[in-house]
Structure formats: structure tokens, C-alpha cells
Structure 1
Amino acid sequence: MSSPYRLAVVGTGGIAHLHAEQLRDHCQGRIELVAAVDPDADRLSAFKEKFGVEHGYASIEELLAAETLDLVDLCTPPVAHAPGAIAALEAGVGVICEKPPALSLAEFDRIAAAASASKGDFALISQHRFGSAAERVRDMTASGVLGRLAVAKCDTLWYRPEEYFAVEWRGRWETEGGGPTMGHGIHQIDTLLSLVGPWSEVVATAHRHRRITNTEDVSHAIVTLESGASVVITNSLLSPREVSQIRLDYDNATVELDHLYGYGDDNWSIHPVDAAAEEVNLAWAGEPRGKSSGHYAQFLRIADALDGKSAPPVTVGEARRTLELLAAIYASAFTGKRVRAGEIDPTSPFYQRMDGSGAPWPDRK
């Protein structure tokens, strides 16, 4: 067996602890956590002690100068994702990046350029793509057993109280990139696109109903897919009964996912039409089964890609397609116009910033 791939975590907040736990519990022998970065010395020390990490650094520049690495895992606030990714890629080190990958399409395209010039690859964390039930739905779609998709919905209905935004970088276009569309709904939207394929146009609204932020706290979008199917998407931080849902209405069955921050097979259900019930139920009872969504599943797929010297799962192109849809939701919401895929180019203000020409409400921070 080859030696484990050497990984360093950049940022040691809550999401870094989740990543480290998943690596420790599921990826031993494949990926080894060898170093951590955080400018907060006390937080860094606590992380190192908890996970038995030997080396710690105050900056990614110090890390890259001192360590021989295969992977850098970016668990920083969104404002630091693009600079960290570009620094690692320019050093020839592969990158795993939490969502969102960048604050704008302009930033993301700079990451993509650095990745194309690097021996390292860029991989976006998209952990909900990798549960066995999502894989089974993709297989059943490809086989034709479900028929064609007609209608879908994708809801991220979460709750974040006002004190959540006391953290300085939250709720600001300049540091978080957006509200629940960008920072929370992206998980479900990315999973949706992995199931239903590319989008072609969107019309949307965004609102700041309650929270004292610069960004939205609710958005709604109607998306037309390249296949012709239509999808309704809602993202909210004002929903006390929290739920994450995807519903897919095919010709032969309805497929539903109902969970919150992660799913297993039991969070999915299927409801076939009578004429197709036998064939659909037989396919649904098949493989793969038994694998929950989670970061570990994607980490292991990244290790497999490194073993085979292939591109990691969730390519630069796939990550960009999701980010472009988010930019288009904001562009439609703030201009009142229908936005088509490919329209947000470097001449658009929404290419440079998610709020583009400006949100229709005054700044509050």
C-alpha cells in the first residue's frame, strides 16, 4: 500500500473539526492530517492537541514554505478561499475547498487558471453528491427507468438567529459573498444539479426580511434546465422548522430527499406510478446502498483520484456551473430580468461581485 497522502487544514474553526473527525474516523491509511494553519495561536494549539497534529503555522505561506504536502484543505471563511487556493496551486499542491469556492465568478476563474497551470488539482467540497442513494438516482436516471424529469423543487429552509451574524465576516458581500443562496443553499443546489444536469435560465427574487445584514435572508428562483424541466428553489435563514429537501418528479416516479445537514438511505423515498412500479421498485432496491452523505466519502474519492492520477470528483467545470447559477439568481433578483447561462461574462457587474449593481436595500453594517 502506498503512503498516505499528506494533508494540511487551513483554518481551525468548526468545519475544520468536522473535516478532521471524518479524516480520523474514515480515512486512516489513505489521507494523513499532518499540519494546521490558524493565525489565532490558542485556537491552533487546541486543534493540534485534539487531533494529534504535530505542526502548526500562522499562515498558509508559512505552511507551504515548510511542509511537503499533497493536499491543502481550506476551512477558512469564504473571503480567504481564493487566495488560499491560488497560493497552494501555485506551489503545486492540490486543494480541497469548502463551499463557496470563491466570492465571485471572477475569483473562481482565477482559481481555475491557477489549477490549469498547476500539477495540483482543485476539488470543491460537495459531500451530498456522494451518498449511495444519490448515486442510485443518477444511475436510474441514466438507465431511463425513471423516465424524463418534468418538475423539481429544491429547498434549504434553515434558521439562523441574529446572534449568528455577530461573527464579523458573516452577512457581508465582501467577506461571505452572499446570504443563504451562497452560503447555505449551495449545498442542496449543487446536489440538485448533480442529479438533473445543466441549467439554462433563471428568474429569481431575493429579500432581506428580518436579519440585520447586507445580504439577503431569503431567495426564490424558478430555473429551467437544459432538458426543459423546471425547478423551484427556495433558500431561507428564517425557517424555525429546519429542513433540506429535494423533490424530483419524473414520468415514472417521484423521488424525494428530506434531511437537514446530511442524509442516509432512509432519508430518500420513491413513489412510482402504477404502470412502472415493478421496474422502478426493482431498480430502487438495487445497489449502491448503505453509504451516507459526508465529507469522508468525498475525501476517499479524492484519494482514489490521486491513486489513479485522475481529476478529483467535482471538477472545476462542475463547481463553476453551480457558482454561475448562484450569480444568475442574484443577477435576476436585483435586475428583475431573466438570466441565461453564459450571460454573466466579465462585462457584467455580477461577474465581479454577487451583488453586482447593488442590492435593493441599504447597507446595515
Structure 2
Amino acid sequence: MSSDKWTEGSLLGSEQAQKDADNGKAWALIERTMLASIQEQRRARRWGIFFKILVFVYLFGAIALFSPLLSVGASASLEPHTAVIELRGPIADQQEASADNLITSLREAFENEGTRAVVLRINSPGGSPVQSGYVYDEIVRLRGLYPDTKLYAVITDLGASGAYYIAAAADEIYADKASLVGSIGVTAASFGFVETLDKLGVERRIYASGEHKTFLDPFQPEKPEEVEFWQGVLSTVHQQFIDQVKAGRGDRLKEHPGMFSGLIWSGEQALDLGLIDGFASTSEVARDIVGAEELVDFTHHESAFERFARQIGASMGSTLATHIGLSAPLLR
């Protein structure tokens, strides 16, 4: 009887061991299956990321490669024509009317063998004296290199401040009788929040090295000597503006007490003052003065790739200047 029980126990033990072994194999199989699935998912994600990056690089590579080709159509024209360059909007770095864009356009226009003259078509309120000065100097240089290629400025709605600064470098300036021309002056503006802070019970804390390092801080009272200094800076830039206008326009300018006061004039008044040479549109200049009626646009247009690069590369200096209330003078 005991022998039968022992045999039965052995059989039960063997069956249990077999079941445990089978369960172990099943779990091992499940584990391997799950690991394989996870590895496959990881592989799929890696390949997905790889292909997305590949497509991204391909698209932007194509944009970078073909964008220049899209912009050379105008400059490739060798037939006699009048080159047109648009100066539109505020004159500032990283803007459509930046010195880099305008100078690139000017060089391509002057260098083209089919160009009979260049028309700078202006509709701008002005902007940076530095950017305007760069363009002015480049126009003078190119006119010296290509003495047979005239440059005409044509002011449409507005040619003020830094825009007129640039126009003064042209051989001749034309506008409409109702155009707004001039505004030969310099301005820099800010705000003062000293009393506002006092009313709010806010204490301003600023730490700087240098006696006048914070002289433009809008949260501190102005000091007479610092105001005088800043006015001197603006007056210096203003005189530079005046000198360039006089150099460009010469004896065509008429004596007038308000000429360089920052006032803006109608085209009709500007003609009487010698600020412009006549009334004409771009087409009229090309047809009646240049004698090459075909207009070819040489304006440098920012490519999608350049625009993307500019957007993600925002200027830290500009952001910092905004926070501390410091901005460069503007020609107005």
C-alpha cells in the first residue's frame, strides 16, 4: 500500500515538474516575443526618424540649391533694359530694405551688360542711418565704376529720412507732385517710468559698472549732462546726413531755413527746393530719359531658406536693446 502511494506521489510529482517546465518554456517564449516586438518598434522608430530627417534635409537642400536659380532670371537678361530695384518699407538690418539686400541688387544691376540705367524705386519712411549710409556709399562707388550707367531715384508715395539719404546719391531724383519728400533729421525716442514705479511702490534695482552705463534707463531720472551728451550724438549723425545730401545734390539745393529741420515736403514743394529734379514715374524715366523702355526687376528677394534661417536666428542684441530701452538713432 505504501509502495502504491509512493508510486502515485512520484507520478504526481513528475506531472507537476512537467507542467512547471512547460510553463517556464511558455513564459520564455512570451518574453522573447515581447522583446522582439519592442526591438522591432525601436527599429521602426529609428527608421522613421531617419527618413524624416532625410526628407527634411532634402527639402531644405533643394530650397537652398534652387532659390538662387530662381532669382537670376532677371540678371541673366542681356537685352537693353532699365534695371529696377525696389526700396520698400523701413530701412533696417534683417529687413527687406536692408543694406545687404539693396547692395546685392545694385551690384547685379550695374554689372549686367544689358543694363542701360538703374532706377531705384522708393517708397519708405526711412530707418537706420548706418544701413542708409552703406547704401549711399555703394551707389557712389558703383557710379564711379560704371560712369556710363546712370542711377535715377524715383519716389512714389514716400521718400523720407533715410530713404531720401539714399536717394541723394542718385544722378537725378524724380517724384510725383503729391509725393512726400525730405524729413532730413534724426530722432531717438524712449519712455520714462520713474513716477509710475513710485506710485506702484516698486523699487528699481540695477547694477552696472561705469558712471553713465545706465544713462538711457527709462526707470531712472534723466540727468542734464547725459541728455546733453545724447543730443550731441544725434546732432553729429544729423550733420552727417546733411553733408551727404549736400554732396549728392550740390548746387541744385535752394536756401531755405527749414531745409534740414526734419520737415517733410510735397513733391511740388520739393522741386522748388531742389530736393528733386522733376516729376516722373519709373516707366516714364525708362521710356523718356533712359530710352530703354523694358523694365527688369533686380530686387533681391529673400529665399525661403534665408527667411527660415533668419527667423530661427533672432538677434540677441536687438532683444537686449528692447529690454534696456536702448535703440539706435533713426533718420527721420
Q: TM-score, normalised by structure 1?
A: 0.22
* More helix, by proportion: 2
Larger proportion of strand? 1
Specify the structure having the higher radius of gyration (Cα): 2
Task: Report the TM-score when normalising by structure 2.
Answer: 0.24
